[in-house]
Structures are given as C-alpha cells and as structure tokens.
Amino acid sequence: MRYTSRTIVLLLITLVATAQQSAWAQRQKKHREPAISIYNVDTLIKPIPIQRSLWHSKIDKAQRGVDVSDGQVDGMVYYGEDERMTEVLTHAMLKDIDQIQTMIENLPFPPSAQTDNSEMQTKIRYLSALNELLRAYNNDTKVDPIFYRNVVENFKALVIARQENRLEAFVKDNTTLVTLANNDLLEGYPQVREYLFTELGKKEPLVMIKRLSEFAKYTFADETVKNAAPLVPNEIYNYASSSNPNLSWAIRRNTDPLVQTIVKISQESTSPLKAMAFLNDIYAKKLTIAEVDKITSNQDLFYKNLVRLKVENPSLGNKTLTDEIQYRGLKYVRDMNDLHEEAEKVRFKCIDGFSPVQLYFIMVYGQDEIYTSSFLGTFKRMIERMGATKGDQILDSVHYDKFRTFIRMCAGYNTLSTFLTTIDEQKKIQLMKDFIANLGEGKDDELEDAVDVADALGSINDSVLMSFLQKEVKANYELSYKNKSKKGMKVYALLATLSDGLKASDNESVMEQQSQALNLPPINMVRYQSLDNDSAATVYQQFFFYGDEDGKMSYNSFLTNFKDGKWKITPSTYWTTITSTSEKPVTIFANLPLTEPQDEEAQKKLAEYLSAQQIYPSIIVHRGHSYHLPTTIDGLTKNTRIVMLGSCGGYHNLGKVLDKSPDAHIISSKQVGAMAINEPIIKAINNRLLEGKDIDWINMWKDLSVFFSTKTAAQKNLFNDYVPPHKNLGAIFIKAYRRLTAEENL
C-alpha cells in the first residue's frame, strides 16, 4: 500500500486522537470504579494527631509551591499550553497527593502499635517521604508530567505493599527508576534496597553512577561502578579524585581491571584529564601513561591523536573521547572566529597541516560556535586536501560519525552540492538514502539524527534533491508501518508533515493546518494572552548579559533602544529594570555585564529577586557567546514562551531549551547572534507587545525582511542566517514528537 503525504498527516492525527480517546476511556473507567478499599477513601476516619499535623502542613506548603510554579495559586499546575499534561500534573501533584495524605492517616494498625509508638513512627516516615517527593518536584528544572504521575502512583503502591508485607515482591516486579525515586520508603528494609540498587546498577548504570553519593559506602555500589566504567570513564575518574573519602574509596576498592586502570591514571599521569581520552590505548597496553603525557603536552599532536583514536573506533570511553575532540576542536574554531577580519592566510593558519578527516571533526563538533565564514574556510580546505579521495570515502573512514550533522550544516551553508559532486552517482544516491533511513532506531528519546534531518529539509534549495528526500521519507514511513516500529512511524509521519508545509511556510492558513496536524499550539504565532503572567497582565522579559568586552558593548547598545519616551530605565546594583510608560505593561530585566566572574553574581541576584517576587519571564534573550548559553538555558522555566538564542547549536541546545520550556518558540541563527540583527528583532517584538498584539512570526519576519533590504549586504546576509520559530523545523519536530509520545504514554 502506498501512502500519500495527506494520508500520512491523517494517520498522524489519528495516532494522536486514538491515544487521547484511549486515555479518556481509561479515566472514565477509573472514575466509575467504586472506592471500596480503605486505600481509596478520601475522607479522614479520625482527626490527625498534632505530631503528624506538622508534617501535613509541610506537605501542603510544598503543594502550594507546585501550584504557584506557573505564576498563580489556582489549583492548577499548568504545563505550558498543553491541556492534557496540565491535567496530568494537576491530578497527580495536587489531587492524588491529597488522597495519599488521607490514606496514610486512615491506614489501620493493631492496638499494640499505638502503645509502642510504631504507628506514629511509620506514618511520619510515609509523610516525610511524600514531602521529599514534592521537594524533588519543586527542585526539578526538567519536569516530565508522565514520570511524576507514575512516581505518585508508585508511591501509593509502595505504601500499600509495605502495609501488606509484600514489599520485596513488589520491588522485584517494579525494579525501575520510578521505584528508585521513592526509595525513601525502603527505609528499614536494607535487603530490598540493596536489591533495587544492585539491579538498577546493571540496567541503568548511567543513571545510578550520578547518584553514587547516596550509596557509595555500601558494597553493592561496586556493581554500578563496574558497569559505568566502560561507558563514562571520566565520571569514574572524577570520583576516584574526589576529596570525599566515601566516593574515592568506592572507586579505589573496586577490583575491576578497567576501574583500576582509571585509578592508576589519576595517580600517575601529569595531565590525567587529558590522558583519560587515551584510556583504550592505556588499558590495552598500546601506550604507557608517560607516552600519553608526552602526546597531550602538544596541542596539535594531541588533537591529531584524538582523531586517530576516533577513527580506530575504540570500544572503551567513546563518549569521553568525543567530548575531548569537541573541546579541543573548539580551540581552533574560536581562533578562526576571533580572526574573522584578518586575511585567510592568517585566519586559517591554525588548521594548516590538518587532514580532511581532522577538518571534518572540527566542523561537526564545532557546530555550536562556528561562524559561517569559519565553516566555509574549513570546508574549502577539506575539499582541496581530499585530492582524489571521494566524499563517501571520508565518511567511511569516520564510520559515518555525525554524517547527518555534516549534511545538515552543508545544506545550511549552501555547500551540499559541492560535497556531493565529489561522490559517484550511485554512492551519492545511497548516501542520501542513508541520510533519511533508520531514524526509528534507538531509544524513544534519541532524536539527534531526526532533528538534523528536519533542519536539513528546511535548508535544501535543490528541488530535485528535495523531491527525492520527500519520497524517501514516505518510503521509510511505509517500512516502519510494515515493521510495526512506533518510533519510526512517528518520526517519518512528522517529517512528512513538516516537509510538505515548507513551500507554504509563509501562509497562515497552512501553518494553522500544520499546527493541528502536529497537535501543537499555533507554530506561526504566540498569543499575547499567553505572555502575560500576573494580575496586571504584565509581560516580563529577561536578558542575559555577560562580562566580556562583547557583552559590555552589547549591553550599552541595548539600552539605546529604550530612550524614545515609551520606556523608563531604572538602574540598580546588579540589574537594570526597563518598564513601559504607555500602552500595555511590559517590564524588562537585564543583569549588568559586570566584569567576569561578577556577571554570574549579577545574574544570581536577579534570579533570586524574580523568584522572591514570583515573576516568571515569558521572554528570555541570550546576549552572549555560545559558550555562555548553558547559563542562559538554566534560567528558563516552563512559563517561557519566546527564547532568542543567537546560534542554534543543533539538537542538544534545542532539546535543552524545550526540556525547560516545552512550549518555547525559538529564534536562532545558523551562526552566532549579531547585535545589528538582534536589536531590530527585539524592537519588533516589543512594538507588538506595547500594542497588545499577538507575535505573528510570518508578518513580523516579512516586515523585518523589508527593513534589512535597505541595509548593507553583510547585514542582509546575517539576517538571512536567522531562523524564525515557524521555520525552525528542528524545534517544531522535537515539540511534536514529545507531545505525541506523551499521549501514547497516557
């Protein structure tokens, strides 16, 4: 059976609707079930003793913290514009926890339990654990509604299992990270706790190793350490070098040969962090620690050997090696960026003598920070140095590592056709087939390759190639359907929907249809009403500035945009507050770009003030280099609706933004953000806010295009590198995929 684009879109809508109907039916079924068990009664049988009422007060206070996290106490826990997830969180964190509090008080105990005080102690333990669950939620910056619903349900089931003396059997049947989240309820059952931690150390070593401090003193930690060592050896090294004796001893006492090799590196190497990248060579006795230290002492030799190891594809510490290649490669990217006004001979001197493969890794792992001109200069040298070597041979030699990222970058920088001309016709066809294929493989949340494809589809201008790729998307959807691959069906259905909308991405009615097909709020606009978050309907914005020279210059230029009589500027010790003086209320907070590291203190003080005032900015703007971006992302909340990043940085940064702000509309650039472009965009947004208008990306971007058409060629090119939210296919893909997956999980 062949599937047209329209059929795939309809199937996608059906997938969502079916998931919603199934969840509704389950809720109705659950609602009809009579609450005959003591565990389901929602009224108190007898008054709460004063000793426990204090714990109930703590829990109620923590619940108010959950409620107010969206900016208002109204008995609802809003999850952006997602009504279903709002319902899930509200029910779990408010209603279900209220019922669990009642259940704990109603739990029956024999008369002797009152005499020996065991009833009091047990119920306080339950209430303390429930309070800890809420505390964990309130400290979580990446709330997953389905996870917390499951945690609350698991909490209740664990309490019941304890009461019915079947705790061990329950944990063995539910050896999961959800049960781990409630492990406070295992207090007094050391064997059950040991079983849970040991088994999860085998199944989820990457999760468990991050929690090593909780159980490092116990011998069952050895299993986690041994299983994590091949996957994240650097974390084992960090623990081995820790000043915390429990953590360091948990590593040093481990008898596993690989763990002992890591311990030896930590003790004998003069540059142990650098040497860790060569763990495979040291463990296999190909190089001594002294020989590795000699290599790492020379910057170029170090980088070349990192690439040599990557090409050899070692079985140990591949992530550590990858992280080191990215970190070292960024040094060359930053050198080229800093010299962007110099002649090519000077600017690209730092990569003289590098092979095509070494240049390839600089480009793909430098994607977060590389300027357009730096990419083009590096790409040009890669092509020149390839000689008779074919492009597919280069990709073969790197085991196709990051090849989708490379194709996405080539598409974005208009060099894809140049690269493809280095490949024979049949192999070129196969490469582009491979580019689209196998996106349904891996875990549900492994989306980097699919996001690279989505972004590339938004950049390819070759109509013949685009038509070929769209056919491949549909062919892979059919294959996923045939193989009953849920992830594959979701990925390819979404890609088909996104690619079909490309030609009409500036048509409002088409964008509305796409939003409906993707089960998303409007992707082409942000409603004004969704941006204000207090009783005065104020729209709050927060700007992150940094204390380097560029940050100070950017801040000073930024202030000049608010001297037209429409704004009042109020400076303070750590930040500046800018408020509108007419029309609709808009308030902007911008931390002062104090000299590093005082800029971090300014951001911290502003964050404390906003939290104390229960202000949750709906617009966040990053005004700094890409390497400062993680700090800005930390400042996002689920109330953030518009995020201006500067450079995009591909899947990882998009994913992190949407982890914190699931409904965010993201403005990004194919290269670093430019002050001359940022400020007109910000002004255009504020002009609409002052008038109380929705932020309509299609019309706003048309106006900006007219504005920049009168500017210099350099400014026009910079503006053309900016990606408006309705064309940010990577971000739209992630949002749609996550929402569809959440519906399935319900």
pLDDT tens profile 666-723:
998 876 668 889 999 999 999 999 999 999 999 999 999 999 999 999 899 889 888 8
pLDDT at 537: 86
Question: For residues 149, 154, 159 and 161, what is the CA-based torsion angle, rounded to 10 degrees?
Answer: 150
Place of tokens 């190891």: 309
* Residues β-bridged to residue 668: 646, 723
From residue 589, alpha-carbon distances to 178, 324, 625, 642, 674 in Å are 38, 36, 19, 15, 20
Tell me which CATH code domain 525-745 carries. Answer: 3.40.50
- Give 374-390 pLDDT, tens digit per residue: 999 999 999 999 999 99
Q: What is the pTM of this model?
A: 0.84
Distance, CA of 643 to CA of 622 (rounded, Å) = 8
Which residue is listed with tokens 């993680």?
Answer: 630
Residue 358 banded pLDDT, cuts 50, 70, 90: very high
Residue ranges of the chain that CATH labels 3.40.50: 525-745
> For position 159, what pLDDT does the model report?
97
Question: What average pLDDT does range 158-172 have in this prediction?
Answer: 96
Alpha-carbon torsion 182, 183, 185, 191, what sign? positive
Kindly report the number of other CB atoms within 10 A of residue 483's CB atom.
10
Q: How far is Cα 365 from Cα 326, in angstroms, rounded to an integer? A: 5
725 alpha-carbon distance from chain centroid: 17
Is 545 strand, coil or helix?
Answer: strand
Report the percent of the chain where pLDDT is more than 90: 72
DSSP secondary structure string for all residues of 50-106? HHHHHHHHHHHHHHHHHHHTTTS-SS----TT-HHHHHHHHIIIIIIHHHHHHHHHH
**589's tokens:** 């907070």
**Run of H or E residues at 669:** strand 665-669
Mean pLDDT over 239-246 rounds to 96
Q: 629 and 646 in contact (C-beta within 8 Å)?
A: yes
Residue 156 pLDDT exceeds 90: yes
Task: Please state, as a whole number, how many other Cβ atoms lie within 10 Å of the Cβ of residue 49.
Answer: 12
